[in-house]
Structure 1
Amino acid sequence: MDFFKGQGTLESAEWVLRAVYSFFFLILSAKCMGRRAISQMGLLDFIMALIIGNILAHPLSDPRLGIKGSSISMSVLVFLYTAISFLSLKWKTLRYIIDPPPFPLIKDGRIIYRNLRRARISLDYLLASLRGEKVTDPQKVALALWEQNGSVSCFLKTEHDPVTSKQFKMQVAPFYMPVTVIKEGKINEEELKLIGKDMNWLLQKIDPAEIKNILLAIHTQDDKLEMFYYK
């Protein structure tokens, strides 16, 4: 366990052991903190990411620093993160500080400029976020909210909502998730069984010599195969 302690120099194997230990320790810490810390970057998440990066970076690059202290520090931070996340569920004031509620940037087609300043974003950033939601005209927006994770949630006015088959009382087929039966030239027999098919059925649809040239083949709702070939 010499790689765990600070030394003047480290052998190549000890550097490798430090990196492997830090990698799995970071994975374990992320699992303890929950997927929220990975999928979103709130205030607390951002602070944790900065601190953890600095704590692990130094012992991985400086042989004079032991990794024991970094591990202890990181364990304490993970505990604090988990504790604060739990307490924020109980205390409204703490939750308001850590995860502030969303506030409107657009309401009834009107841009609220003071809230742009509150979110510290430009008008160009707001318009780019709307384009990301396929909205080109702010006047079509009933409500656009600035979320605590730094994203914009957009809701169109009723008259600009996409028309659905339900509004016309149309009969539509139920949802069917296409099944991948061939991927990168390899047949997925488990997926074939899920759709009630076998190899004989597949070989009737596809020339066996062509399978290796198929990048992707999916089974569709109308019992057909859509194939994409390597180019």
Structure 2
Amino acid sequence: MTYLLVLYRVVTILVVFLLVALVLSKRHLGRFTIFDFIAAVTLGAVAGADISDVDKPHGPRIFALIAIGAIHILFTKMLLKNRKLGKLLTFDPTMIIQNGKIVVKNMEKVRYTLDDLLSHLREQGAFDISEVEFAILEPNGQLSVLKKSQHLPATPGDLKIPTQYKGLSIPLVLEGKAKHEGLRAINLTEEWLVNQLAGQGVTDVQEVFLALLNTQGQLYVAKYQDPSNIQKLDH
């Protein structure tokens, strides 16, 4: 009976967590502020106590989880409306590299190590630190990097080359199923799709894992692959 009770509590807590996560915006799932971190730790502590101590009532702790989520949402709205309050409760961006020079004082201030810096630079595609003009440690712990102008890739605009409009590709087949709403959106029929797939050697839509039509009218088709043809990678 105890195991069933624990299982019941785990399921209900997961459902509550899912609802809270759906209510929170993508910003909170991708970027943690100080208050986000505190709320997450508190939620975990309440949930852990509820699961481990089955002798205590379940209802008040579920209420506590919902209350924490509601307070978090309310507090976040307050931060959005009051910039001064937000600045008090979040970290400021920190300049780590300025005009190509490492600001050691700022690194020591935020306890940001040289290994951290080099690792985060590589994540941003900057393998040569001499190519970096500015690097800013953001409040969420990510490093924003601006390379020196001579190391930035040239764009068509820089070269004064005219380009065609490029918008979002429209999915026409997903996991072996034709997306009729996508076809209707661009005034195409399933017969047109079948003919286009046949031109790429596809006899059945179910053979296609993904098919996308871009704004240039080009159809990208990815078939389901035979596992025996997949290349194995060595360590």
TM bucket (normalised to shorter chain) is: 0.7 to 0.9
- Residue deviations 1:13-53 (CA, integer Å, cap 9, x gap): x5554344323322343455544332211211111111101
1:225 lines up with 2:219 in the alignment: yes
1:168 lines up with 2:159 in the alignment: yes
Q: Is the 8 Å Cα contact of residues 194 and 205 (structure 2) preserved in structure 1?
A: no
1:139 lines up with 2:130 in the alignment: yes
SS in 1 for 2:204: helix
SS in 2 for 1:218: strand
Structural mapping, 1:1-231, within 5 Å: 10=2, 12=4, 15=6, 17-31=8-22, 33-88=24-79, 89-90=81-82, 92=84, 94-207=85-198, 209-231=203-225
User: What is the distance in 2 between the residues matched to 1:199 and 1:91?
Assistant: 52
User: What is the distance in 1 between the residues matched to 2:194 and 2:69?
Assistant: 53
Q: Is the 8 Å Cα contact of residues 165 and 215 (structure 2) preserved in structure 1?
A: no
Aligned-pair Cα RMSD in Å: 2.4
Unaligned 5+ segments in structure 2 are 226-235
Unaligned 5+ segments in structure 1 are 1-8
Deviation at 1:83, TM superposition (A): 4.4
Equivalent pairs: percent with the same residue? Answer: 23
TM-score by length of 1: 0.83
- Residue deviations 1:76-96 (CA, integer Å, cap 9, x gap): 43344344434444262x423
Equivalent position of 1:4 in the other structure:
none
TM-score by length of 2: 0.82
SS in 1 for 2:133: strand
Deviation at 1:144, TM superposition (A): 0.8
